[in-house]
Amino acid sequence: MPGRLGRGRPFWWHGKFKGCGYKITAGRDAIIEVLSKADKHLSAEDIYLKVHSVYPGVGLTTVYRTLEILVNVGLVYKFDFGDGRARYELSQDEEGEDHHHHLICKKCNRVIDYSDFIEEEAELLNKTEKGLSKKYNFEITGHLIQFYGLCEKCANRK
Amino acid sequence: MPGRLGRGRPFWWHGKFKGCGYKITAGRDAIIEVLSKADKHLSAEDIYLKVHSVYPGVGLTTVYRTLEILVNVGLVYKFDFGDGRARYELSQDEEGEDHHHHLICKKCNRVIDYSDFIEEEAELLNKTEKGLSKKYNFEITGHLIQFYGLCEKCANRK
DNA sequence: ATATAAATGGAAATGGTTATCATTACTATT
DNA sequence: AATAGTAATGATAACCATTTCCATTTATAT
């Protein structure tokens, strides 16, 4: 009952996985495979359906459990776009870039990714994080920035 | 069956409410009263319990419905701190200030409000919003910034 | 090959939020 | 004041993403 899981590629995540005491299984491979290939903003069910179609032995529960681990380990980011289900993205793409910035349409829930203005953002965020860390004795490990509004279609339709 | 609802104060929200075609009711008054008095980060159930203790005629359903309206009208912000329940805050305090910035502890889910570094943030956000609006034809109406990490207690305990 | 603890999946439970619907209350108009 | 018309309400049930449970299977180190 194997599932042709993108053989031959460097399974870069195995190290981190084992390092944290987790086992490598076909299901987990398949889930990370889907995340690294597929479009962005996948929900747990999206991932389940994709994985399941190739490897029917994987259940929804395992998808949730694996995603939780991946988020804890830092390989995956979990987002809430306000439509009642969580979305998951690999934290780094193949080039090691780390762009997860979203414009969210409040009307149709469309999500647009952007990768502009990141440098200035990063600069400000760094400065802010340092200041906040010190003042509140808070060890900052991450942040979230999202913009809300109306996408082109919805703005015109109104 | 009245409920002593902070009489005599300027019910500034009535205007916006009526302007949008909504009616003023005792329950809605009570809900906004709770929001404007109480500590921050209240969940729908928190609000329900507080309102209900003073004015038992108000049900949980009405709390949810009223909050939805308040969010749509812009009087209230809805937040997700990752613990499975939404939190609500009046969008402006009594001085008309509009500070809704949070540090969220990933371990104990404690939320710290901060109001430092807001000026720089606002400046950057304005610049970024303008750029994004133009490039993506996206009408930006709001944004969200949150920092995640470990609060003092949890960082030490580890 | 074997032992051991971790991983799994299916079904059931959970829990915040929403939909339904018959009843009630607000508001403007007589 | 009485009425009509419409929005608001609350109790209950439905919803649905996510978790929990538990008996079985599997990965991994030895």
Q: List, for chain B, all residue ranges whose pLDDT scores fall below the cut of 70.
A: 1-11, 94-97, 158
Q: How far is the CA of B103 from the C1' of C27 (A)?
A: 45
- The pLDDT score that the predictor gives to residue A112 is 93
Pair A74, A106 in one domain: no
Pair B94, B106 in one domain: no
Pair A80, A15 in one domain: yes
Using one digit for the tens of pLDDT, what is the confidence trace for A64-84?
999 999 999 999 999 999 999
Pair B116, B91 in one domain: no
pLDDT at A3 over 50: no
- The pLDDT score that the predictor gives to residue A6 is 35
Pair B64, B76 in one domain: yes
pLDDT band at A57 (very low <50, low <70, confident <90, very high): very high
- Residue B7 CB burial class (10 angstroms; 0-12, 13-18, ≥19): exposed
Percent of chain A with pLDDT over 90: 63
- The more confidently predicted of residues A136 and A158 is A136
Put simply, the answer to whether A124 touches B121 (Cβ < 8 Å) is yes
- The pLDDT score that the predictor gives to residue A9 is 52
| Chosen domain end from B51, B79, B98 | B98
Residue type, B38: A
B142 and chain A in contact, CB less than 8 A: yes
Please tell me which of the candidates B117, B132, B139 has its beta carbon nearest to residue A116. Answer: B132
Q: What CATH number did the domain enclosing A112 receive? A: 3.30.1490.190
| Chosen domain end from A71, A93, A115 | A93
Average pLDDT over residues A45-54: 96
- The pLDDT score that the predictor gives to residue B80 is 95
Q: What CATH number did the domain enclosing A19 receive? A: 1.10.10.10
Pair A145, A121 in one domain: yes
Question: Domain count of chain B?
Answer: 2
Using one digit for the tens of pLDDT, what is the confidence trace for A107-150?
888 999 998 877 888 888 888 999 999 999 999 998 999 999 99
Which domain does A115 fall in, by range? 101-158
Using one digit for the tens of pLDDT, what is the confidence trace for A11-42?
778 888 889 999 999 999 999 999 999 878 99
Q: Are B61 and B2 in contact (CB under 8 A)?
A: no
Pair B78, B4 in one domain: yes
Pair B149, B85 in one domain: no
B143 and chain A in contact, CB less than 8 A: yes
Two tokens at A6? 């993108």
A101 touches strand D (CB under 7 A): no
Q: How far is the CA of B41 from the C1' of C13 (A)?
A: 28
Cα A155 from Cα B2, distance rounded (Å): 43
B139 and chain A in contact, CB less than 8 A: yes
Output the CA–CA distances (angstroms, integers) from residue A35 to A43, A46, B48, in the order listed: 10, 10, 40
Two tokens at B81? 């701190």
Q: Are B102 and A142 in contact (CB under 8 A)?
A: no
Pair B28, B90 in one domain: yes
- The pLDDT score that the predictor gives to residue A8 is 37
Pair A62, A137 in one domain: no
Q: For strand D, list residues 83-142 of chain B whose Cβ lies within 7 Å of it.
A: none
Two tokens at A139? 């060890």
Pair B77, B115 in one domain: no
A122 and chain B in contact, CB less than 8 A: no
Strand-by-strand arrangement of the B86-90 sheet:
B42-43, B86-90, B76-80
Pair A48, A121 in one domain: no
| Chosen domain end from B81, B98, B115 | B98
